[in-house]
Structure 1
Amino acid sequence: MRTGDSNERLASLFNMTRQNLERLINKARDCLTEGYVVLHLGMDHVTRNNIKERNLTIPRAIYGDDESSKAIIICDGTYIYMHKSVNFLFQ
């Protein structure tokens, strides 16, 4: 939930104290990090065989050959997370 609202405002919207809201946000962040991120993001969620099976025809023709099935990964930075500051008025 990235709205740019302060924790005080969110706490008043949810009718709870700021400390309770922050505790719940931290718990949700920990649950996502432990349960979702390791299963769906990063290089540990996929095996080498999964990568080889998903190789497309064009990258296989450019970077591989038909005799050996290499795992081809092309990284271009499209999905790199860049933190945006919330201190700016217009984003």
Structure 2
Amino acid sequence: MPGLIEATSISVPSKYAKVDFRNDAYWSNRGKLDLPKERFILYPEVGRETDPTPLLGWAGWNHAQQGLALATIYALRESEGVDRERLVPVVAGIAEVLP
């Protein structure tokens, strides 16, 4: 058929490497799969103050699930006594996923 590209003429994309990520923690959290479709949501600076591990969510969550995750984060950080100004990004994230 005219206009179709033969499958063997398409080169295989290069594998992801550690240098492709801004932070070593992102590389270590991505797992063994090397698929361009794998995605995570990073919730920056909303984790526990005593734990430097990045807080990640799955990009496959729908808006309701993302909102629930953010509301849970908000409730947990509020119960820990975190200053409300630090929770503004969490509230902004909730507002982004609201219909």
TM value normalised by structure 2: 0.30
The structure that is helix-richer by fraction is: 1
Which one has the largest radius of gyration? 1
TM value normalised by structure 1: 0.31
Bigger relative contact order (CA 8 A; separation at least 6): 2
